[in-house]
Copies of this chain bind each other. A is one copy, B any other.
Amino acid sequence: MSPKEQRLAELLAPVAGDMEGMRSTLARELSSESAAVSDMTDHIARFRGKQLRGALVLLAGEAAGRTTDEHADLAAIVELIHLATLVHDDVLDGAEVRRRVACVNQRWDNQVAVLLGDFLYARAFALSTTLSSRLASRVLARTTQVICAGEIDQAARRYDFEMGQARYEAIASAKTGALYAAACELGECYPAGRECGESELARFGQENGLAFQIIDDCLDLEGDAEVVGKSVGNDVEDGKVTLPVLFTYERADEATRAAIRDAYTQPGIESRVARLREVCDLAPGIAHSMARAKELALSARARLAPYPSSAARAALEAFSDFVLERRW
């Protein structure tokens, strides 16, 4: 275990038992009678990642004093939806390596990645329909729509160097913040029959999710694939204009702007992110973005004040710090 993993394990100690429950539900849900299906789900079980979204369900439940027998399943459902989005993102991005395991679309192909993602979404919804309350089905169907609409907006804004920070944040909030928020909302409110999307804990999730996405976008520009554990430079390759680039472009002279556009679009460039780094100084844009992420994480942390002091609340506070220090 690396020092980082050690710290994460400590952070999640208040919900360690339910994390185990979540993992066994996940293992069961990833199995299938079909040999062709289970061959693939066995494969993706290996890039399960840090399971931060599932952890948020459990920590939010504990912090609000409302954990039920079904919270471990709720956490597993949120992780299944996240896995489905990852599998479909691999189709979208043409990403070559994710978490050092060959992507589904490299090992099989795009066709199968689409089907596997669909299968995981369906599994998640099916599991949600077995729970005693319909809240999970409702929140997650709503959230999945928001995520997809955010990704569609993002696709429509490729190569748009003038969309502005507000539009960028709206897209990042939809595609990443929404599932963090849903995790916290479900953890806090389940099994209430009514959605409670406007709670402070849900906002905590939303802001941390946006911070996480901003940092992810910075890492894609400046990170080292070995350290980050997945290939970098994908955003530039795919025409995604992220916050550090928007900031840089906005302040650049016309010649630099043209060079930035060329780095994104000119045919035959081997590494677009390397070219981008050559033609402009991204450091101020990265610094601006990291400052914004920090602001969001601090705002998120402050939202925990109304909840009674507990090990889970302390873990959520540490969670915000953990997101900020993220270098993996």
Contacts and interface: CB of A to CB of B under 8 A. Distances in A.
Contact of A125 (B35, B111, B141): B141
B111 A110 contact: no
A129 B134 contact: yes
A227 interface: no
Interface in A51-110: 88, 91-92, 108, 110
Residue of A116, A138, A148, A156 most packed against chain B (CB within 10 A): A148
B115 A36 contact: no
A137 B145 contact: no
A111 B155 contact: yes
Interface string A117-150: 1110111011011000010011001101100110
A191 to B, nearest CB: 14
A115 B37 contact: no
A201 to B, nearest CB: 22
A122 B152 CA distance: 14
Contacts of A115: 88, 92, 148, 151-152, 155
Interface string A163-205: 0000000000000000000000000000000000000000000
A24 interface: no
Contacts of A119: 145, 148-149, 152
B36 A153 contact: yes
B118 A129 contact: no
Given A32-B149, A149-B34, A118 B116 contact: no
Contacts of A126: 138, 141-142, 144-145
Contact of A148 (B35, B122, B138, B153): B122
Interface class of chain A by DSSP:
helix
A190 to B, nearest CB: 14
Contact of A114 (B88, B108, B123, B141): B88
A114 to B, nearest CB: 5
A37 B144 contact: no
A13 interface: no
B111 A91 contact: yes
Nearest to A158: B111
Contact of A141 (B92, B129, B144, B148): B129
Contacts of A138: 126, 129
> Which 4 interchain pairs have the tightest Cβ spacing?
A126-B141, A36-B156, A122-B144, A119-B148
Given A91-B114, A128-B141, 4 more contacts: A32-B149, A34-B149, A121-B122, A137-B137
Interface of A: 32, 34-37, 39-40, 88, 91-92, 108, 110-112, 114-119, 121-123, 125-126, 128-129, 134, 137-138, 141-142, 144-145, 148-149, 151-153, 155-156
